[in-house]
């Protein structure tokens, strides 16, 4: 596990030597010295102050994905920290308990910098959440999953081809918290797995190798109203899930893997199953955990309160193809690619709106992400035609598979200019991002 820090500290982005494969020394980028940035664990209401020192040879910044922060602290692509420069991110946490994460957001460089190692996890705690007595301490595992393409020496390499830009940059090596071939010893108890998909393009269909059901208790923005039992769960780049896995009936001496199972709906991926993380059940213990009947209050935003519906065609568009120069600019939102100086959508502060992402003509999955607010998923029409356990709580990223139209509803309560984009980072850097201004 990466080191844990609390409300204040330094994050220095630099090139470091770090082991990603056992016994090998590799070159990658890192905040501090670890294979992943430190995990920031804070209580709601805390003031967070983090000094970012950019020791890279190019511009960078930090976006707090899943934190509701003022626009000027959000790491918008125009808020850059030049090579050699510093910036102090300071904000007060004011939201429900959730798992968030952080990564760079300089346009056209986000994918490379994140892939090369710049990412970390954030956990926000609240008294309400603590009162639920969910598994904690050594029974709570924050896990950031990424796939990496490694060279012969084991260093990550980022050099996307045109095909990689089309489908996302995938790697043959799955890492958990920066570690390939990760394993963790467990006892016969219930564990809380808090998972971020920090991959550039890969979608995981999470399951357990013993086919046991598990409970989904939370998603991007916090806890669900009540636990949902599943045997598999799709998690696309940028999304988080909060799971309870019960090892209490697994015989000591057994290995159980967190796996990704095959899935359909995406032409370019989903074809092969693989292991993500090995749990070795090595100790018998009685399990004190009792599942709470209710976890939180999720009040549905009423569609009647929405004053406006915006509709966006997403993916490869004729306009994008026309405008494409070389490899760039094929992926669009509403026919447009990103222009930092242009405000694409204006939203009135405090309004509730419905946004629809239409991928009915597309053939690639697009995990759509909004900065500056959480939202609720209200419908998915076409394709999988349903909502999933992980979509029944506050979200900031939603997977829109080919053939699907997904509607979300949000109340825009933070003023300023934010981006929304596809969280397939190759698509994002290719231009699949727009600005919206709340005022
Ligand atoms: Cu994690 Cu703008 O995104
Ligand atoms: Cu974000
Ligand atoms: Cu996309």
**Which of 41, 33, 82, 108 minimizes the C-alpha distance to 428?**
108
Out of 100, 126, 152, a domain closes at 126
Å from CA of 188 to ligand 2 middle? 36
**Residue 87 shares a structural domain with residue 23:** yes
Å from CA of 138 to ligand 1 middle? 29
Task: Confirm whether 181 is domain-assigned.
Answer: yes
Per-residue model confidence (pLDDT) at position 12: 67
Residue 369 CB less than 6 A away from ligand 1: yes
Atom of ligand 1 nearest to the CA of 105: 2
What one-character DSSP code corresponds to residue 257?
Answer: E
CATH classification of the domain holding 146: 2.60.40.420
Residue 107 CB less than 6 A away from ligand 1: no
Nearest CA to ligand 1 atom 3: 65
Task: Confirm whether 414 is domain-assigned.
Answer: yes
**Residue 237 shares a structural domain with residue 269:** yes
Å from CA of 355 to ligand 1 middle? 18
Residue 372 CB less than 6 A away from ligand 1: no
**Residue 427 shares a structural domain with residue 327:** yes
Query: Are 382 and 402 in contact, with CB atoms under 8 Å apart?
Result: no
The answer to ipTM > 0.85 is yes
Overall domain count for the chain: 3
**Residue 8 shares a structural domain with residue 96:** yes
Per-residue model confidence (pLDDT) at position 267: 80
3-state secondary structure of 203: coil
Out of 251, 283, 315, a domain closes at 283
Query: Are 416 and 393 in contact, with CB atoms under 8 Å apart?
Result: no
**Residue 324 shares a structural domain with residue 421:** yes
Query: Are 153 and 203 in contact, with CB atoms under 8 Å apart?
Result: no
**Residue 265 shares a structural domain with residue 312:** no
Torsion of CA 399, 400, 405, 407, to 10 degrees: 30
**Which of 380, 419, 417 minimizes the C-alpha distance to 398?**
380
pLDDT per residue as tens, the chain (439 positions): 878 877 666 666 666 655 555 566 788 888 876 788 889 999 999 999 998 999 888 999 999 999 999 999 999 999 999 999 999 999 999 999 999 999 999 999 999 999 999 999 999 999 999 999 999 999 999 999 999 999 988 889 999 999 999 999 999 999 999 999 999 999 999 999 999 999 999 999 999 999 999 999 999 999 999 999 999 999 999 999 999 999 999 999 999 999 999 999 888 888 889 999 999 999 999 999 999 989 999 899 999 999 999 999 999 865 555 444 544 668 999 999 999 999 999 999 999 999 999 999 999 999 999 999 999 999 999 999 999 999 999 999 999 999 999 999 999 999 999 999 999 999 999 999 999 999 9
Out of 105, 126, 147, a domain closes at 126
- List helix spans (H) across 98-230: 110-115, 127-130, 162-167
Residue 210 CA: distances (Å) to CA of 186, 213, 340: 15, 9, 48
Per-residue model confidence (pLDDT) at position 131: 96
Query: What is the pTM for the complete model shown?
Result: 0.95
Nearest CA to ligand 1 atom 1: 65
**Residue 120 shares a structural domain with residue 12:** yes
Separation CA 140–CA 134 (nearest Å): 8
Å from CA of 192 to ligand 2 middle? 24
Q: Which residues contact 168 (CB under 8 A, 6 or more apart)?
A: 199, 200, 201, 202, 237, 268, 269, 424, 425, 426, 427
**Residue 204 shares a structural domain with residue 232:** yes
Domain that holds residue 385: 303-438
């Amino acid at each position: 596990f990466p080191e844990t820090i609390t409300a204040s500290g330094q994050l220095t982005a630099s090139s470091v030597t770090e082991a990603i494969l056992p016994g090998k020394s590799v070159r990658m980028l890192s905040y501090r010295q670890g294979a992943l940035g430190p995990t920031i664990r804070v209580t709601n209401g805390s003031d967070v102050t983090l000094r970012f020192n950019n020791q890279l040879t190019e511009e960078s910044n930090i976006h707090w994905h899943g934190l509701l922060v003022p626009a000027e602290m959000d790491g918008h692509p125009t808020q850059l920290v030049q090579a050699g420069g510093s910036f102090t991110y300071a904000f007060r946490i004011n939201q429900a308990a959730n798992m968030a994460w952080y990564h760079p957001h300089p346009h056209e460089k986000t994918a490379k910098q994140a892939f090369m190692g710049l990412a970390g996890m954030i956990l926000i705690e609240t008294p309400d959440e603590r009162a639920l007595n969910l598994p904690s301490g050594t029974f709570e595992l924050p896990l950031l999953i990424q796939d990496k393409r490694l060279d012969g020496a084991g260093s990550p390499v980022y050099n996307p081809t045109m095909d990689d830009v089309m489908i996302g940059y995938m790697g043959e090596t799955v890492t958990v918290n920066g570690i390939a071939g990760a394993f963790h010893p467990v006892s016969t108890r219930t564990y809380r797995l808090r998972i971020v998909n920090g991959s550039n393009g890969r979608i995981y269909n999470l399951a357990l190798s013993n086919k046991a059901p598990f409970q989904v208790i939370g998603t991007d923005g916090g806890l669900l109203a009540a636990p949902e039992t599943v045997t598999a769960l799709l998690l696309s780049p940028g999304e988080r899930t909060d799971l309870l896995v019960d090892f209490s009936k697994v015989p000591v001496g057994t290995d159980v893997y967190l796996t990704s199972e095959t899935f359909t709906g995406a032409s370019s991926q989903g074809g092969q199953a693989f292991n993500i993380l090995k749990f070795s059940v090595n100790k018998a213990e009685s399990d004190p955990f009792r599942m709470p009947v209710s976890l939180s209050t999720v009040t549905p935003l009423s569609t009647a309160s929405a004053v406006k519906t915006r509709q966006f065609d997403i993916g490869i568009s004729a306009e994008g193809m026309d405008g494409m120069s070389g490899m760039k600019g094929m992926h669009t939102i509403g026919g447009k690619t990103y222009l930092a100086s242009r405000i694409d959508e204006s939203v009135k502060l405090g309004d509730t709106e419905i946004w629809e992402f239409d991928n009915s003509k597309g053939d690639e999955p697009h995990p759509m992400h909004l900065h500056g607010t959480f939202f609720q998923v209200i419908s998915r029409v076409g394709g999988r035609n349903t909502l999933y356990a992980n979509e029944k709580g506050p979200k900031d990223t939603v997977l829109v598979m080919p053939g699907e139209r997904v509607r979300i509803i949000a109340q825009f309560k933070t003023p300023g200019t934010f981006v929304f984009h596809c969280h397939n980072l190759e698509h994002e850097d290719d231009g699949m991002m727009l600005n919206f201004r709340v005022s």
